[in-house]
Structure formats: C-alpha cells, structure tokens
Amino acid sequence: MLGAIIGDMVGSPYEFANVYKRHQVKPFQRTIRGSFRMTDDSVLSMAVARALTENRGRNDKEGLGDAVAESLQEYYRRYPLTKGIGPMKHSCYGKGFTGWIEQQDKKARRRATSNGGAMRIVPAGWLYPTLEETLWVAKLATERTHHSRRAVEAAQVTAASVFLARQGKGKQEICRYAEETYGYWIPEGEEALYRLQEENRSYRRRKRLRLQWEDLIQCDAKQTVERALFAFRHTVCFKDCIRTAVAIGGDSDTIACIAGGIAEAYYREVPKDWRKAAEEVLYACGCFPEDIRLVMNFKKEAGI
C-alpha cells in the first residue's frame, strides 16, 4: 500500500504541470511546481484499507459495501483536502465524488467512468487468498461511487495486478491478464511512451483552446490503468516505475499511485529513503497517527 501512497505523493506536483522526461521528475525534492503531498488518492486508499482490514472475512455483499461507503465518507470529512490558492482554491476531491458524499446516503450509487475507484483499490490486492475474492471485493469497493462497467473493471484490473504480483507472477503475465481478460491495451517500447505523451499533450491543447480548464486532466478509468501498467511493464525498479508513470503526463498522481501499488507488490519492498520521505510527508500533511501506522505497516496492521 505504501507504494501507492508514494506514487500519489511524487505525482502530486506534476498533475497540472506535466513533465515528459524521467530526469525532470524530482521525487521529494524542492520543486517550483509545488510541494509533495498526499491527495485524495492517498486518503481514499486509507479509507478502503481501513474498511477492508476491519471487515476481513465478511462475505455479505451489502454489509461490506456499506462498510466501504461509510469509511469513504468518514475519511472525506477527516481530511478536507484543498488545492490552489486564493480564489482558485478548491477541494482536492472530484465534484462527482463530493456530490455523492453530500447525499449522505451510503447506499446511493453514482454512475461514473473515471479513475476514482481504481486509484484507491490497491489494498484489496493484498488482503485476499484468491483472485476470485479479490475481484469480488474490488467490485464492491468501487460500485457505490463509480457504478459503471468501465470503472469497476479498472479497479478489478488494478487489484488483480497487485494480487498476481505478490503471487510471484511476471510482468508479461500480469499485463497479459489485463489484455486478455479485460481487453486492455498496454503498448511496448520507448516509442510507445512518446505516443502516450503526445496523446496527453493533444488532449490538453484541445481543452485549453475550448477554455475547458476543469477538464484539463484525462481521468478515464481504463486509460489510467493502461498507462500505469505501461510504466510498470517497462521499468526495472520501483523508483524508475514511479518516474516513468509521472513522465507519461496526464493524471500524474493517479497513474503513479496505481503503478506504485503494483510495483511494491512486484519488487517486494519500497526503497528506504523514499519510505522515510513519505512518512515525513504524511506527518507534514497532518495525517492521524493511526493512519500513518496503517500506511507504513500495512501488512502487519492487516495481519498479512
């Protein structure tokens, strides 16, 4: 889980100010693009982790769905994150998710095809003994806020990738599962990276020309997970995976969050210097001690 949190932090300054070179990504170093922080990706990952660990072994669909929904609502109130300054200051959470929260109905289902379900689902990939159960829980943890096949499948692919990685499966096998089971497309080669970057540049140019500033970030669920898997597939270590995920451009924090969650499971550990830096960021962001323990010692806290 820590890998996902680190990905979110490292990608956070580059979300609106994309960079397209790996060496331009400066993890946990001072940057003119803003400070490294936890965003809604981290907060809601904690919420899912808390709900699933406290309800592990529960097999009633409605009850587990309620537990996740309640935890999402609780963590939204616990961490009222904002970004921007002055008149540009606004909630870090998406408008659709905030609208779901404001309904105050944990059973409400909101239709959405965005990546909010996938960005928070990494903990589910660690907690269950079978792929079938992992997929089932990923669906339950997603469908209240993102009730669409596209969003649910993106969460399932993410959780399944973490599960398969911790089972010792290779990169090609993990990516092939996403491609053959869900019809995902994960390109290969450095030229593919350039194509993904140009796709993002073109998307942003179109939005700027139309003055659609609120839609400047492409948050499609399937596309986000495909790009996270691309970063995972084409890198040789955890740090390289995070840098590549950010350098793709687009929704940098979420792509790196998902890629980092998978990479941690595959490489078995997070580099010690980044682990320490992430813990310092959590303290600086006012994270509650029990949530810091959950993130930093997730396997122990979850009894894995």
Q: Say how far apart CA 245 and CA 227 lie, in whole Å.
A: 7
Residue 88 predicted with pLDDT over 50:
no
**28: which 2 tokens?**
């946990």
Residue 87 predicted with pLDDT over 50:
no
**256: which 2 tokens?**
């790196």
Q: Say how far apart CA 142 and CA 100 lie, in whole Å.
A: 13
**38: which 2 tokens?**
């936890």
Strands (DSSP E) along 72-218, which ranges?
82-83, 90-91
Domains of the chain: 2-82+96-302 (1.10.4080.10)
Residue (of 124, 122, 144, 142) closest to 133 by Cα position: 124
**277: which 2 tokens?**
């830096």
For the segment 121-147, what is each residue's pLDDT rounded down to a tens digit?
A: 999 999 999 999 999 999 999 999 999
| Averaged pLDDT for residues 205-218 | 76
**227: which 2 tokens?**
């790009």
Single pTM value for the model: 0.95
For the segment 5-46, what is each residue's pLDDT rounded down to a tens digit?
A: 999 999 999 988 899 999 999 999 988 888 899 999 999 999
Under 8 Å between Cβ of 134 and 163: yes
For the segment 239-263, what is each residue's pLDDT rounded down to a tens digit?
A: 999 999 999 999 999 999 999 999 9
**Residue corresponding to tokens 């924090």:** 253
**Residue corresponding to tokens 């170093």:** 29
More confident residue, 17 or 289: 289
Say what the pLDDT of residue 89 is: 55
